[in-house]
Amino acid sequence: MQSKLKVSVIIPVFNSEKYVGRCIRSLLRQSLNKKNYELIIINDNSNDNSLNEIKKYKYSNIKIINNKKNIGLPASLNVGIRNSTGSLIVRVDSDDWVHIDFLNILSTFLNININIDAVACDYALTDHKEKPIMEKNCEKYPIGCGIMFRLQQLLEMNLYDEKFKFAEEEALRKKFLKNYKITRIPLSLYRYRQHKNNRSKNKTMVKKYSSKLKK
C-alpha cells in the first residue's frame, strides 16, 4: 500500500562530503513512489565539498537550500521544515542512510492510524565503513532521526528550539511528549553511522545542553 500523505525528508548537511551521497542514494531508492515524497537538503554553509556532492543528484523531488551563513543544526532543520510541502516530516542526518522501505512503512502506518501522532523505527548502529555493530530499540535508546511527525503538530509546538545547538532532539522530544505520543515500530529501518566526527561525540556540549533541558 502506498501512503496518500506526502512526506518531506529533511536532510541537514554540514561538512559531510564523505557520506552525504550514500544518504541521498538510499532515499532515492525508496519503495515509496517518488511523487509521494520530497528531499529537502539544507547545506549549512559547508566549507568542504558537500555542495558539489549534493548537486550530483538532479531529481525533481530534491530541493536544495543553501544557508548564506552557518546557522546551526536546529535552525537549519526549521528552515527545511518551513520549506516543506508534505503533511509528514522525517529527519535523516547526512552521514546516515535508510532501508528501502523506510518511508513507505512509516508513512503508511500514519496514513492508516490517523489518531497516532508520530512513529519511530528501531535503528542499527554501524561503524564508519557501514559494518553493523548492533541494533537498538528506539524507545529505550532514542535518537533525533527516524521519527516521522505530522507537520501540523510540529508547527503547533513552534518546531525545534534554536537555542539548543546540541541536544536539540531531546528538547524537541520533551516538548512534543507533553501533548503527543511517539509510537514505536520494532523494525530496524534506519542506519546510524558511528564515526569520529559525530556530533554526539562532543560529550561536553551534549552534557551542557542536556543539563539546560533538565533545569
pLDDT digits (tens, 9 = 90+) for 113-133: 999 999 999 999 999 999 999
Question: What range defines the domain where residue 108 resides?
Answer: 7-214
Report yes or no on 146 lying in a domain.
yes
Report yes or no on 29 lying in a domain.
yes
Domains identified in the chain, total number: 1
166 — alpha (psi -120 to 50), left (phi > 0) or beta? beta
Report yes or no on 2 lying in a domain.
no
Q: Note the pLDDT of residue 176.
A: 96
Report yes or no on 82 lying in a domain.
yes
Instruction: Identify the segments of the chain with pLDDT beneath 70.
Output: 1-4, 197-215
Report yes or no on 58 lying in a domain.
yes
Q: Note the pLDDT of residue 203.
A: 55
pLDDT digits (tens, 9 = 90+) for 174-212: 999 999 999 999 999 999 999 776 555 545 655 554 555
Report yes or no on 153 lying in a domain.
yes
CATH number at residue 136: 3.90.550.10
Q: Note the pLDDT of residue 164.
A: 85
Report yes or no on 1 lying in a domain.
no
Q: Note the pLDDT of residue 209.
A: 46
Euclidean distance between CA atoms 91 and 10, whole angstroms: 5
Report yes or no on 85 lying in a domain.
yes
- pTM of the shown model: 0.90
